[in-house]
Amino acid sequence: MYSETLGILDGVCKLVLEELAFLFCDSNDASSVDLNQMKDTKCVSMSFMGPTNGRLEIAAGQDLCLILAANMLGAEPDEEEAANHAVDALKEALNVVCGRFLTETFGEEAVFNLSAPVSEPAEELSKVHETAVSEGMLFFEAEGHFMVVKITICK
């Protein structure tokens, strides 16, 4: 994966989470997260088709999903409303990240078709997809919780 692409994605993730949910993320290294220990983790993915085809995934623990939903909705993390929207909030964050990333990377003239974000098992994150040409992962920490973002460029 080109470092320039990952650099753009890193910046977009931080900006979107700040604008969407007032979450300030710090980049982390891969050693800070053990993907095999991700038990209470929510993972969402979506694909994009256009000048380049690919797939974007985000994984975060339930606690961070609750904070994300609460901040987006103007609620508290322990409120029922936040619990009801926890996974959907992660999907919406992915949706916004994907849209911004594609525009930042390929420009405003490029047209992409995006799939709707879906939930997937956290184990999917560590799999290499059949059509993958290259892939890269970013690791973040926000309010003491981890988040993993994975991009796969496909044939």
List of residues contacting other proteins (CB under 8 A): 16, 19-20, 69, 72-74, 81, 84-85, 88-89, 91-92, 95-96, 98-100, 102-103, 108-112, 114-116
Instruction: Please tell me the distance from the alpha carbon of residue 115 to that of residue 7, in angstroms, as a whole number.
Output: 24
Nearest CB to other proteins, comparing residues 33 and 86: 86
Q: How far is the CB of 67 from other proteins (least distance, A)?
A: 14
Contact 38, 139 (CB under 8 A): no
Contact 46, 98 (CB under 8 A): yes
Q: How far is the CB of 17 from other proteins (least distance, A)?
A: 10
Contact 140, 147 (CB under 8 A): yes
Nearest CB to other proteins, comparing residues 23 and 125: 23
Please, what sign has the CA dihedral across residues 82, 102, 2, 50?
positive
Nearest CB to other proteins, comparing residues 100 and 139: 100
Task: Using the structure block, give the residue that is written with the tokens 């909705």.
Answer: 73
Q: How far is the CB of 126 from other proteins (least distance, A)?
A: 27
CB atoms within 10 A of CB 80: 8
Nearest CB to other proteins, comparing residues 69 and 138: 69
Q: How far is the CB of 55 from other proteins (least distance, A)?
A: 15
